[in-house]
Structure formats: structure tokens, C-alpha cells
Amino acid sequence: MAKVSVKTRYSQLETLRQQFLDRARDSAEFTIPSLIPREGYNRTTEYHTPYQGIGARGTNNLASKLLLALLPPNTPFFRLSIDEFTLAQVGTNALKGDVENAMSSIERVVMNEMEVNNFRTAMYEALRHLIVGGNVLLYITPDLQMKVYHMNRYVIKRDFIGNVIEIITKDTVSPSSAPEIVKEMMKEEGDKSNYENTIDIFTYVRRNESNGKGWIVHQEVFDKEIPNSQGTYPSDKSPFIPLRYTSIDNEDWGRGFIEEYIGDLRSLEALYRSVVEGSAAASKVLFLVKPNGSTRLKTLSESPNGAIREGNAEDVSTLQMNKGADFNIAFQTMRMIQDRLQFAFMLNTSVQRDAERVTAREIEYVSKELDDSLGGLYSLLSQELQLPLINRLMFQMERTKRLPKLPKDQVKPKIVTGLEALGRSTDLQRLNTFAQQIAPFGEAALGALNIGEYISRVGASLGVDMKGLIKSQEQLAQEQQEAQQQALQEQVAPTVAKEGMGMVRDSAKQAQEQEAKQQQQEMERS
């Protein structure tokens, strides 16, 4: 069988994607039309504006809640765990608190890298696409930037279990911004029109068919492979992270959250449109004058307010649409649909404050709320989004010497979700509870407690850099020895001083007696 180009393979999988893309565009039409626009859009396209805004508001609200739970500010959403056997092999001198501090320091470095590279902006965009379209692809660049591939810019193929086996992305670039190697390939093509049109660069990622482990990647342009674009990735450390909201057996693409409520959104859209158009018609007032009446039309139309004119009031009538009862029925139906959608979009159940620093309790509540309301979506994203993201980040940072190389299969990241969304602060609560439980035992309990180790674990739970903050055992022993020596000196000094004064007095007395004796001897000789 002849090998097909990546462009041809993309076209084959693009046909299978079309029905899912159409559903996504229908969902976007009632929420945020510019998110997944119709075919043929460009920079000058004037997008359709929905009559109702609850779809857009609900999408943004749900994406914000998911972002808060998945990437909580100032709190790592993962923990580095080390198995007890490995910890026992480290040695008795390396206490658990020191190991926890070291791993906590690595966690802060990784989270700081995500903050510096502004992962939140890209993640918010990706979550909106996931809610509306049900599918999105994330790509972590070699310099640790996050790129979001919309549904119409990539294709995907899964096996019967749902595991990804193929991913093809299409990047459309201008000739001026193309890589130098691509520009050289354009010169070889000799097609001058290519310099005026955009260029499609295809990236093909597939499972390693030889052993079923790892990924193989290469790029093509003009149906030719780009030199030096080949590469491999470990199985769990691929920079491509495909996401889908819900999965159906034997389907390569997922279904979005909006698709589940498209009936309510479509009905609400129709009702809002009818009310808006009906209100515009109902607000129009016309005055009718009898053709054969005594009141002249010109006199009525040209008379200012408050003027006195001859005429018959019965000749003039007002034409209005008396549809108030119909509007009431529409309003009741709209209110009922809005209540359902507000509950679905979690617009009426929130404790989140508009503040820079959100408390750990709020993060915990939002996480539990998402897990309960969305049927475990948050837990699903923890395994399909958070874990691959952390694995890739740590892998890339280790390769660039930004992180120390961790022992393979011994130190692993663990995503903290649900009620455990507080991260290491959960350990702090347990430590505080332990301290409260042993407090009634008094000095006996405190004497049995390793205060230094307790302080180290508290610092690690709070995410505080303990380096240089807590004195080592050697420093404490040295300070204790110096204090004992100082106390001994202070105790011995009075005695030494007293004895010294006595010795001085004795020496002076002996000197005087010796001098007197010498003088007497000199007088006797004379």
C-alpha cells in the first residue's frame, strides 16, 4: 500500500469530523458565535448576535469556575509523592520533613513557571471551547508556552477503547513568518504564488506501531517532509493534550456541554426574539381619523401640544396591539427556562468572591460543586488535563536543567482533586488536629514531640521556603554548648575573682615584708 501524505490523511479524517464540527457551530450560535464560527469567516465577518445572553454568561461562568478549580491561585493543584520504601532507603538522617520541604520547593518552581508563562489565559480559552464544542487540543511548546488548537484546526483518531492513536494539526502561516527551512522549500517549489498565499504546515503525531509505546512526530509542507522535524515523545509526556467533554463509544470526537441543553437555549432564543419583535410592534401607536368626520387630519397632525382646535373627539381613535396576555405567557415560559439554565450553568450557586486571593475554603467548595453538578467532569479533567500537563512541564524543565532530575518511578506527581483540593493545606489541618489532641497530655507529650520536624512539616504544608529559616540540629547543638559554657563562666567568675583578690593581697603583704627585711639588713651592715 502506497504511503499517503499527511495532507491527504488530514482530508480523510476531516470528513469524519464534519458532523461534530456542525454540532459545535450550532452550540456556539446560541452562546458565543465567534468562538466556533461558520465556514468562510474572516476578519471582516459580522457575527450573529443572540437575542438572549444567558448562554454566553453561563459559558463564561462555568469556564471561570473550572479554571479556579483546575488552576487555583497561589495553591499547587498537585503534590509530589514518594513511596515509603524509597523514603526508608534515604537514611535515618534525612527526616520526612526535609523531603517534604524539597518536594514542596519543586512544586513552587513548577507553579511559578505556569504563572510566568500565563497558562491561565490559554486555559480559559480552552475551557470555553470544551464547554461549547466539546473538543479542544492543547500544545505545550518547547519554551513552555501553551497553544490552543480549535476544533477546526486539527483532526484526531482513536481506537475502540478511546485511546488516541493519531493527531494531525494544521497551522496556517504567512510566507514571511514561516521558518527558514520552509522558505527554502518554497524556493525549491518555484511557485511564485506561494509567496502571496498562506502556507499550511501539517504536524503528524501517531503512536509508535512497533511497540505501542511512545509517540512519533514529523511535519510536512507541500506534501514533503520538513527536514529535522522528526522526533519522539514518551507515552505519558507528549506535548499534545487532546480533551473532550463527553465520550460516546466508537466516536473519535466528544460532545459539548451546550449540546445537552441546546433545546432550552433554542427555545429561549425564539421566545426572546418574539418578545423583542412583538414589543417593538406593540410600542407603535397610530391615530385614526374618520374619513367623513368633521375633524381634519391636517389640523390634528400640525397642532402643537395643548392647542385648542375645532373638532369631534369621536372622529379620532388610537390603534394599539393589545397583546399583554400573550406577552405574560411568553415571560412565564422564559422565566421557567432561565431557571433551568441558571441551575445547569451554576449561576445561582456560588460563594466565590471577586478578589485577587481566594481562600482555600472557596476553592474546596467550588471543586466539590463542580464534581457534584457536572457528573465528575472535574475529576475527569484532573486525569486527562492536569496530570499530562504536569508530566510534560516537569519533563521539559528537567531537560532544560530548570529542575533536578527526579528518580524515575519513585517520585510521581499526584493530582489533588475534590475535597482534597486544598493541596498541602490538608496536611496542615491534620497536623493542627494532632497537636490539639496531644495538648492535654502537657509536658510529657511535648517532650516526646520532635519540635524541629513538626515545624518543618508545617512550613511544607504552608508552602513556605524553609531554606535557611529553621536552624539545623548542628546549629542547635552548638548554640546549646555555647550557652552551657557561658553559664559555667558566669558561675565560676565570682569565685575566681574572690580568690584572685586574696592572692593579690597576699602577694602585696609578702612584698612589703620582704622590703622591710632588706632595709633592716642594710641598716645593720652600716
pLDDT at 158: 93
Alpha-carbon dihedral angle through residues 424, 427, 431, 436, given to the nearest 10 degrees = 110
Tens-digit pLDDT profile for residues 199-212: 899 999 999 877 76
pLDDT at 215: 93
pLDDT at 93: 45
Question: With a threshold of 0.95, does the pTM exceed it?
Answer: no
Tens-digit pLDDT profile for residues 60-114: 999 998 888 888 877 778 888 776 666 666 554 445 666 767 777 888 888 888 8
pLDDT at 193: 47
d(CA 494, CA 122): 74
Please say whether the dihedral angle defined by the alpha carbons of residues 299, 301, 302 and 307, taken in this order, is positive or negative.
Answer: positive
pLDDT at 456: 67
pLDDT at 423: 45
Asked if 187 and 200 count as a contact pair (C-beta separation under 8 A), the reply is no
pLDDT at 182: 85
Q: What is the largest CA-CA distance in the chain?
A: 175
pLDDT at 302: 77
Q: What is the mean pLDDT of the chain?
A: 79
Q: What angle is formed at CA 331 by the lines to CA 327 and CA 337, rounded to 5 degrees?
A: 145
Pair type for strands 164-173 and 199-207 = antiparallel
Phi-psi category of 295—alpha, beta or left, where left has phi over 0 and alpha has psi -120 to 50? beta
pLDDT at 102: 76
- Of 78, 165, 99, nearest to 394 by C-alpha is 78
d(CA 421, CA 426): 8
d(CA 370, CA 363): 11
Q: Which residues of the chain have pLDDT under 70?
A: 1-2, 83-98, 100, 189-196, 212, 283-284, 319-325, 349-376, 409, 417-429, 444-447, 452-454, 456-476, 490-509, 511, 524-526
Asked if 128 and 32 count as a contact pair (C-beta separation under 8 A), the reply is yes
pLDDT at 424: 47
- Of 133, 116, 149, 130, nearest to 66 by C-alpha is 130
